[in-house]
Structure 1
Amino acid sequence: MESSADLSEQIRRIADALERIAPAAPVPVDWRNAPAYVWSGQSAHALDAIEAPKLDQLRGIDRQKDLLLDNLRRLAWGHAAHDVLLWGARGMGKSALLRAGVIRVQSEAPMAMALVQVTANALDSLPELFRQLGEVRRQFVIFIDDLGFAEDDTVGPRQLRSWLEGGVEARPANARLVVTSNRRAILARQAKEQQGGDDEGALNRRDAVDDKLALADRFGLTLGFHPCDKNTFVEIIASYAEPLGLAYDEADALEFAMRRGQRSGRSAWHYVIELAGKAGKQVSR
């Protein structure tokens, strides 16, 4: 028969083993000192720097640049500022503009504002993020990149509206949401939703469409990004290539864009990477 001392030793060993395999408790993050953070849903980790092109390298989006930068400055200084929806063509600089804009404002007002990017699987945890940020004397941009909801998702859009409109779980006064999406409505419109009909479900379908499209109206500032023309595409390439000392041919650049199926800031950057690789140079961004 085991003694009480032997039994206690076994219990201690089991407890030690469980402690070793248990996940470590998340380390509390300091929300006051880093320029940016990534929120995973359970915890956040700080970033030492924000990666983005220089603001003046972003061409063809001057109006969007001015409006977003003004809104970010207002937020940084604690003035009234909007939640923002950046929507439109792929690769036209939506997220790059936000990151570059935050860098510019941070250079003007160091430590006044931080960027917090929310991972794709962490939307349900936003109320906890709001709670933590609301306790900090600092301004925050909460960044949700490439947001989209499934066609049959009725919970996600309603949550987002609640966060924007001041519901029980709304974002705190020192934070604003910036969302990027390929569509202004964030949700795709299906052809069947636009069709009328005599069946008794037609009115309900129209209500559902209106409910989805109304989501974009909750953002105080909505900025569209559209495919660029040939001249703007070449101008974007010049803004990237010339500081690197890279020569380029306009016809070759336009052919590159045609092969990729789009003229955009992203395609321009990929073309510059191709030029740099052929020239034996490194680039970073």
Structure 2
Amino acid sequence: MVDLTEHERAALRAAMRAMAEVMAEIGWTTPLNALSEQQVLTLAEVAVGAFQDAMRAVLSVQRLPGGALLMTEPSLDFNHRPKPPTAAEAINALIDAALVAENGTRARREYLGGSRLGDPCARRLQYEFLDVPRDPDTGFSGQTLRVFAVGHVFEDLAIGWLRRAGFDLRTRSRSGEQFGFSVAAGRVQGHIDGVVVAAPASAQSVVAVPALWECKSANARNWKEIVRRGVAAAKPIYAAQVALYQAYMGLTEAPALFTAVNKDTAELHHELVPFDGALAQATSDKAVRVLQACDAGEWLPRIAAEPDHPECARCPWRTRCWS
């Protein structure tokens, strides 16, 4: 085994976090032998880049007589001149910096979000609710924020497509507010994507109303997994969200309409999701446990016994949780 320095271990952790962001987009359930060549190359490039960036950040540079530079810590050999950024790199860096700065000014969420309660790690939900500082360099990157923004665009497109097809899809109240719920003195809240209140004649035998409508966008691999296995098996966190929203919005009689947009091909998948009362109750009970533990100043159990578990590797509180 290689005897790594403290700096090298820190750089490896940075590489793992960067890879975790990519794997979260690909899907953690995807076997390694099912990854495409491009996905493997992306993982490798992201890991190497993050490792090198982390190591460069701790370089100590000394100037010798005559103007020569001596890099003393760590002992890596960078015998090349750094290339000036390309136009794309320079512009993207400005965009990402602006997005990160804007995100930093947003007021923190002071409640448990219904869309997050399907997270398998209850302790992570505590960290989110209590606004515990994340580990260094684990905030949302500009690229991640762009991914979030693109998801909202696809949702807006799907709303327009369904309405053009004849569905009466309501997404906001008469006052312009997003539909949602608030329970536990406002400490658990959720905001739904919409409600289908009427379907076109040709779809009335398929889509019962009123029905909760939830929309997600996914890359091609994750989208195909949802189509093949169904949302409950492929994305349990989405299924928990749907069940909880059906329960608290009183939309339990008709199956929810779940729409998934393929971000790569614009293919659409629509799935009817019957109300799962047991899942809704379990998700609500989890929220109660999280709030009770936070009030008592106690930490709920971690999801795993080792910090290298995939859920821990991508967690922005990994170091804090395991130290």
TM-score range, shorter chain: under 0.3
What is the TM-score normalised by the length of structure 1? 0.25
Higher gyration radius (CA): 1
